[in-house]
Amino acid sequence: MIRPATTADVAALTRIWEESVRAAYDFLAEGDIDIYRPYLLAGLMDGEVWVAEKDSAPAGFCVLAGQNTLAMLFVDPAQQRHGVGRALIAHARALKGPLIVEVNEQVTGNVLFYEKCGFSVTGRSQTDAAGNPYPIIYMAQ
């Protein structure tokens, strides 16, 4: 089931984000995670947040921003490869139409996952939006 997030979900979504980042963003130090946490919280407060539940518990979430931007997509590492991410993308597309997304190139499998979900590469940047040396791939459906 996919449903709108509530303020009661913030702790669970933060946990999913932290566990996902620790599992996939091996190039980040623990201090970097602390630096990025405010960006997560701002996204949760400012974006349109959808939660995928499995067994009545959050299994993943996405944040939509603007007209059609998939600003965040995180799935609990224990729930990955079970269709949670694909379901969230399908839900987002049903709401917003074709989506755009910025993908961290250094996360193994990131680009391939989005390509399997119908996205194509449209550009690249050597740095993220904050100017950090984390290459970003721009993709669109």
Domain that includes residue 9, residue range: 2-140
> Lowest mean pLDDT: which of 38-42, 60-64, 95-99?
38-42
Q: How far apart are CA 128 and CA 81, in angstroms?
A: 26
Output the domain CATH number for residue 127.
Answer: 3.40.630.30
% residues pLDDT > 70 (the chain): 100
pLDDT score at 93: 98
Q: pLDDT digits over 13-24, tens only?
A: 999 999 999 999
Question: What is the side-by-side strand order in the sheet with 136-140?
Answer: 2-4, 48-54, 57-65, 69-75, 100-104, 136-140, 120-125
Beta bridge partners of 53: 58
Q: How far apart are CA 34 and CA 16, in angstroms?
A: 15
Number of domains present in the structure of the chain: 1
Contact 133, 99 (CB under 8 A): no
Fill in the amino acid letter for 93: R
